[in-house]
Amino acid sequence: MSSQIHDLGYRPYEGERAGVAWAVRSLAVHSMRRALGLKRAGRHKIVPTLTIGFAFLPAIVMVGLSLFLSGFSLDDLFSYGDYHGFTSFALFLFTAAAAPGVLTTDRTSGMLAMYLASPLNRTTYVLAKGIGIFAVMFLVTVAPIVFLVVAYTIVGAGPGGLLDFLELMGRALLAGAISAAFYTGLGIFVSSIPKRWGIASVSIIAALVVPSIVTGILTEGAQAPDWVAYMSPAAMMGKAWEHILGDVSFNGLAIDRLSGSLVVLAAVAYAAAFLAMTWWRYQNVEVDR
Amino acid sequence: MRTAVISANRVTKSFGTTNVLTDISVDFPAGITGLLGSNGAGKTTFLSLVLGFEPRNGGGLTVLGHDPQTAGPEIRAQMGYSPEHHHLPSDVQAADLVRHMAQLHGLPQQASTERASDALWLVGLGEERFRPIGTMSTGQRQRVKLAAAIAHDPALVLLDEPTDGLDPVQRDDMLELIHRVGNEYGISVVLSSHLLEEVERICDHVVIISNGVVIRSGNIDEMRGDRTGVMVELDGGHELVAATLRQAGLVVDIVGSRLMVDAPPQPGADPYWIHDYIRDVVAWAQVGMRRLGDQTISLEDVFLESNDAASSDAGL
């Protein structure tokens, strides 16, 4: 029996066609994959893998210590609210790698013109990119603290009852989601400005680290008013975590003297402002056609 | 009558104080239409308005029956676009890029994957579809863009300088592909180009833009047919034959070995009387005749004439 290859030629598409929401979802998923280095060369996977590992490391160490050291309690080392401080370095690195990788390259590779020639427009494009980055930020903001809460509960070192567990889980999710939104907003806004990936990455690190140093000097050394601490992303997010997870510490710093609720609101406002500025930037960005 | 896929009525567009499009009024019929103009004429800006990238300043524009300014997503779902640049993300496989673009245009995941593969086979990149785009030649990238433009089976594709950067063999192949897209696949094509020869070769219609204004549009064959007259190519005796024809009241230009003869219309006469008359004069002069036929006009002639006329109208 012989076989034949038939040239089917061009076949019209008669199936269903989804709308803009499907396009947003498709671009968000594509952006998540690119941020994580999936279906890309090995070197693109290094930074995401390491930073996600760093974000989980404190939780893994704590759970390990609880398992192998009898009588060890989380309170011996740090509270849930301190977790952001232990992982902020990983968060900074992850933001600096993920956001520029999915935004600047679209402008330099000419993909932006192709995206805007699809059902997406400038607004839905920014929305899709924001959703994609926000989703991957969960891996370094929400996932580690959720892992810690669940693991502690399993080994018997977590909250006592179901209600306490659910409350703690809710607080952990809220803290993680707010920081994911904050870092997503900052990351996409800074990435919307320069054309080069490297400049955007360095700028994100600078935007996260420099204000913390400057506000620290101003408030603690130069007696500047306490509200200046609102300009320090790291201090603000740390305070927000402590406030949400109910583990407020007081070290006598300017950020400690600010209202926890206002700091949380400020973090949300920052995220919204960054998103709005990114949207505005993309209404005017020149498309390489 | 074929309906227009793009219809523009006094469209204007400016960037700051620069008027890029001052009056675009034209219909693009179904089929393959060449959008012709020199660099900076406003072709790419017009395509941007068609795609809804930019708002226009004035006039009316419909694409596939909708206004791109108010129904951009709906229109773009039925359109394909191949931009002029061919950078593309270097580390993405061709199949992934084409599949991704098909998905963005509304196709489900499985259909996108299948059609991306089919489209890459159709453009001759079936064996290469899993190669990263960064390892591909300019010709292959142009094909990837074409595959991405047609994978979702659009009603209309806009191809902006699709042969840019290609060598002559690749250019021939690309033009053949575009011809198939327009004629076999049933997809209307707008081919933006500054190369007259390729528009003349594959397009049914042409729209010529100069300085932001449509200076000529229509069916290419009809445009060529605007000219009357006969061309005769001789081995020798040009002056003698020309003088004899002029004595008979005909207008004759000698161009190399050819005589270009313009005949005044003679109502009621045999339309081929001039051919017979020239044949008789050449026979009388006893010179060899290589060719006798209607004067043909190239798209280049149309383009140059239209540009000259537009410049005269503008007082340039």
- Reduce the secondary structure of chain A to three states and give it as a string: CCCCCCCCCCCCCCCCCCCHHHHHHHHHHHHHHHHHCCCCCCHHHHHHHHHHHHHHHHHHHHHHHHHHCCCCCHHHCCCHHHHHHHHHHHHHHHHHHHHHHHHHHHHHCCHHHHHHCCCCCHHHHHHHHHHHHHHHHHHHHHHHHHHHHHHHHHCCCCCCCHHHHHHHHHHHHHHHHHHHHHHHHHHHHHHCCCCCHHHHHHHHHHHHHHHHHHHHHHHHHCCCCHHHHHHCHHHHHHHHHHHHHCCCCCCCCHHHHCCHHHHHHHHHHHHHHHHHHHHHHHHHCCCCC
Q: For helices B138-150 and B168-183, give the axis angle rounded to 10 degrees.
A: 10
**pLDDT in the model for residue B159:** 94
Neighbours of B110 (CB within 10 A): 9
The DSSP letter of residue B81 is E
Q: For position A124, what pLDDT does the model report?
A: 96
Max mean pLDDT among A54-68, A91-105, B2-16, B38-52 falls in A91-105
Can you tell me the distance from the alpha carbon of A32 to that of B306, in angstroms, rounded to the nearest whole number? 52
Confidence label for B211 from pLDDT (cuts 50, 70 and 90): confident
pLDDT score, position A252:
66
Q: Which of A44, A114, A120 sits opposite B83 (nearest CB)?
A: A114
Specify the pLDDT at position B192.
92
Cα A172 from Cα A167, distance rounded (Å)? 9
Instruction: Point out which residues pair with B206 in neighbouring strands.
Output: B34, B218
Which residue is associated with the tokens 């008979």?
B248
Q: Tally Cβ neighbours within 10 Å of residue A272.
A: 13
State whether B152 and A13 contact (CB < 8 Å). Answer: yes
DSSP string over B15-70: ETTEEEEEEEEEEEESSEEEEE--TTSSHHHHHHHHHTSS--SEEEEEETTB-TTT
The verdict on a CB contact (< 8 Å) between B104 and A120 is yes
Contact B69, B56 (CB under 8 A): yes
Most confident region among A160-164, A188-192, B18-22 by mean pLDDT: A188-192
A21 inside 8 A of chain B by CB: no
Q: Give me the residue from B81, B88, B122 closest to A117, CB to CB.
A: B81
Q: What percent of chain B has pLDDT over 70?
A: 91
Average pLDDT for B24-30: 93
Phi/psi for B214 (5° steps) reads -80, 115
Task: Report how far residue A40's alpha carbon sits from residue A38's, in angstroms, rounded to the nearest whole number.
Answer: 5
Interface test with A, best of B74, B104, B187 (most A CBs within 10 A): B104
Assess contact for A146 and A172: CB atoms under 8 A. Answer: yes
- The mean-pLDDT minimum among A100-104, A214-218, B101-105 falls in A214-218
Name chain B contacts of A121, Cβ cutoff 8 Å.
Answer: 52, 72-73
- B166 phi, psi to nearest 5 deg: -95, 150
* A1 band by pLDDT with thresholds 50, 70 and 90: very low
At B196, which helix (H) or strand (E)?
A: helix B196-202
Residues B8/B23, Cβ–Cβ less than 8 Å? no
Mutation pick from A7, A26, A125 vs chain B, by most beta carbons of B within 10 Å, is A26
Among the partner residues A11, A26, A110, nearest to B88 by beta-carbon distance: A110
Q: Domains along chain B?
A: 4-224 (3.40.50.300), 230-294 (3.30.70.270)
Q: Assess whether pLDDT exceeds 50 at residue B108.
A: yes
Instruction: Determine the distance from the C-alpha atom of residue A27 to the mean position of all C-alpha atoms in its chain, rounded to a whole number.
Output: 17
Q: How far apart are CA B76 and CA B10, in angstroms?
A: 22
Ranking A9-23, A245-259, A263-277, B113-127 by mean pLDDT, the lowest is A245-259
pLDDT at B293: 83
For residues A149 and A66, the answer to whether their CB atoms sit within 8 Å is no
In this prediction, residue A251 has a pLDDT band, given cuts at 50, 70 and 90, of low
B214: left (phi over 0), alpha (psi -120 to 50) or beta: beta
- Structural tokens at position B20: 């890029």
Does A17 reach chain B within 8 Å, measured CB to CB?
A: yes
State the number of CA atoms in the 13 A half-sphere of B79 facing the CB.
Answer: 33
- Give the E-state strand segments of chain B in sequence order: 4-15, 18-29, 32-36, 58-63, 79-82, 156-160, 188-193, 205-210, 213-219, 230-234, 251-255, 258-262, 289-294
Digit-coded pLDDT (tens) for A93-140: 999 999 999 999 898 888 999 999 999 999 999 999 999 999 999 999
> What six digits make up the tokens of B215?
């200076």
Could you tell me which residues are beta bridge partners of residue B79?
A: B156
Residues of A in contact with B74 (CB under 8 A): 119
Using a pLDDT cut of 90, give the percent of chain B over it: 51
Using a CB-CB cut-off of 8 Å, the residues of chain A touching B79 are: 117
- Of the pLDDT bands very low, low, confident and very high (cuts 50, 70, 90), residue B2 is low
Chain B residues whose CB is inside 8 A of the A109 CB are 87-90
Q: Which of A184-188, A239-243, B87-91, B170-174 has the highest mean pLDDT?
A: A184-188
Distance from CA of A116 to the nearest CA of B (A): 7
pLDDT tier for residue B257 given thresholds of 50, 70 and 90: confident
Judge: A30–B53 Cβ closer than 8 Å, yes or no: no
